[in-house]
Amino acid sequence: MAQLEDLMHEHFIEYASYFILDRAIPDLRDGLKPVQRRILHTLFTMSDGRYHKVANVIGETMKLHPHGDASIADALVVLANKDYFIDRQGNFGNLLTGHPAAAARYIECRLTPLALDTLFFEPLTEFIPSYDGRNKEPVFLPSKLPVVLMLGTEGIAVGLSTKILPHNLKELWQAQIALLGGEAVELLPDFQQGGLMDVAAYDDGRGKVEVRARIREKDAKHVVIEEVPYGTTTESLIASIEAAVQKGRVKLASIDDFTTDKVEIELTLARGVNADEVIPQLYAYTDCSVSVSSNLNVVSGRRPISMTVSEILQVLTVQLKAQLKAELEYERGQLVDRQHWLTLEQIFVENRVYKRIEEATTDEAVKSEVMQGMAKFKKLFVRPMVEEDVKRLLELRIRRISAYDIEKNRREVDDIVRQIKKLNSRLRNMTKTTVSYVEDLIEKYGDDYPRRTEVTRIEAVDKKAVARQNIKLSYDRESGFFGSAVRGDHFRMSVSEFDLVLGISSDGTYRVMPPVDKVFFSGKLVHCAPFDPEAGVEFVVVYRDKKKIAFGKRIKIHRFIRNREYQLIKERAGKLDLLIDPDTAGVVELGFTPMKRQRVTSGEFDLSILEPTSPTSRGRRLAAKPVNKVKHSPAEKLAKAPKPAMAAKPRGGAKKPPPRSGGGGQGALF
């Protein structure tokens, strides 16, 4: 078992490492995943200026890619639809509608001028053997573009994922110039689909952006969606709108899709609905507004690392400077080699050094004569002469020597010297050279890549505020059920899906609940209304316990757990007599249960003196005697009528006794 465990552990680590480094996560240096790199390299080797059948490109790429043609075809279509590196011809699908591309045998592609200018430099490209050893593939392309930020990419590996949002190429170039000048930069995403974008939470690529569709009010009865958010298509957007309509969240009469190369989804509003009401609902309940998170993980130095957008661009700007320097040095080396050869050739012909080999009889003697003859002019050499130079001089044909044009040779050497001086000047100030290179790219290609997504401040839509009151609730007294599936005549109301409803029954139970299909109340429902949890609601409660002792309390319901049943009465056997607004509390008249020798048969209590308490507390006792009758006189009636004497009438015409406290304390006279 231990050996098997070690074997599984080793194989899993290898698999995870391979998946991260060679499948799903892009390389920071060229911003490409391996399959994308192999496609572009294959197109470069096939490049002849004409279009190639995608099926042929896939076949050639399979010589480098071990995972089959389907993955190559999908990756090629995605890369082509980015509009940077692959010039396409035919149906490559529609990024806006989500329609797939045609079969590979019907579509064609080739590299764009931008790709040919910036992605390849074969003399400085490092190659490794392909998976079967028959071919060679690049370790990474010597790219001079911030590809990883241009394209944007997603990838899910073993225990690691990445999501890099695409950025505007022209803005990336301008940011690189700013970085080379020592300035700080701020980069924001830019999406091919356009739309509106709020970047308040982007945090240099460590956060998220809010992206919205661009919606225009066409007239009083129509609104038009002209751009869709990143990550959606017209089909998925329409599906989300239809779902919202079915749930009653948005009220529309019809949806018409006229999208071609531009998005045009026309929504016809229902009767009695206006655009100012519908547009916020579209943003609140459909994919017209989406949140897109960014998670920048890339491969650098054969290991995955997490970076910010500005850190990536800083690294790639330094890389660009180094790449340009390497290419200039290579070009200078080629010119020096050419100057060296032309100088040797001129000396060899002009000074008739070739005459010395006429009397030599062996190969070594011939080489020795050339070396000795040329040594007299070593002060004119660009660099020391080597044996390879001798072989090349001996390969000169008689026709070449006899027709040799010394003046032409000298002009060419002078031209090479001037080019070397220019290269040396550019190499001495690589910052200026890099800035000039980027400026040339902006001038040549910048107008082809305008910003498409508008950066703006998006106010969050309050879903509760724009929700439609489309859920109808009612209560059926006979069955005791309440909800949207109940057809009753009491407590009818229309609420939204975000509203809460407070229901209180005659047995003192209450609950706060969202709109429900059907719920049963054990007692008779005495209060049911929409409930605001922030403000709460206040009541004056009068109830009798199982011994018929009357209690009163002033409560506020504002803390609760949804759908949980609470008790206003301490014991379930009690009875709820009054549930009233504190502003109309008034006075309650209590009729006492008849007893032997009872002189006082009733009493009154001023409910306005009750102190606020918890809904589940017992409350204040209103009388010391059991109560069999409770009668309420609201405050407004008391204000109009003359105030009665708060005393019990004695039986049999006896003299009225002096008032005494009956356990209710202040305000209760018995």
Q: How far is residue 444 from each of residues 44, 170, 449, 567, measured CA to CA in Å? A: 21, 11, 11, 77
**Using CA atoms, how far apart are residues 598 and 651, in angstroms rounded to an integer?**
8
**Using CA atoms, how far apart are residues 209 and 311, in angstroms rounded to an integer?**
19
Strand order in the sheet with 454-455: 289-293, 208-212, 196-198, 454-455
Going through 313-431 in order, the beta strands assigned E by DSSP cover: none
φ and ψ of 316, to 5 deg: -70, -30
**Is residue 230 flagged as an active site residue?**
no
Spatial CA neighbour of 574 closest among 513, 619, 527: 619
Q: How many CB atoms lie under 10 A from the CB of residue 465?
A: 10
Q: What is the distance in angstroms between the CA of the first residue and the CA of the last residue of the chain?
A: 88
DSSP string for 8-77: HHHHHHHHHHHHIIIIIS-BTTT---HHHHHHHHHHHHH-SSS-EEHHHHHHHHTTT-TT-HHHHHHHHH
What sign does the dihedral 268-269-275-281 (CA atoms) show? negative
Q: Which of 106, 404, 475, 543 is catalytic?
A: 106
Element (H, E) at 669: strand 668-669
Q: How many helices (H) and strands (E) does the chain have?
A: 17, 34
Q: How many CB atoms lie under 10 A from the CB of residue 294?
A: 21
- β-bridge mates for residue 214, sequence order: 227
CB-side neighbour CA atoms (13 Å) of 624: 8
Q: Are strands 222-227 and 265-269 parallel, antiparallel or unpaired?
A: antiparallel
Q: How far is residue 523 from each of residues 186, 501, 520, 575, 662, measured CA to CA in Å? A: 64, 17, 9, 10, 31
In a 10 Å sphere around its CB, with 0-12 CB exposed, 13-18 middle and 19+ buried, how is residue 191 labelled? Answer: buried
Are 186 and 171 in contact by the 8 Å Cβ rule? The answer is no
**Using CA atoms, how far apart are residues 42 and 527, in angstroms rounded to an integer?**
76
**Using CA atoms, how far apart are residues 38 and 147, in angstroms rounded to an integer?**
15
φ and ψ of 374, to 5 deg: -80, -25
- β-bridge mates for residue 633, sequence order: 587
Name the residues annotated as catalytic: 106
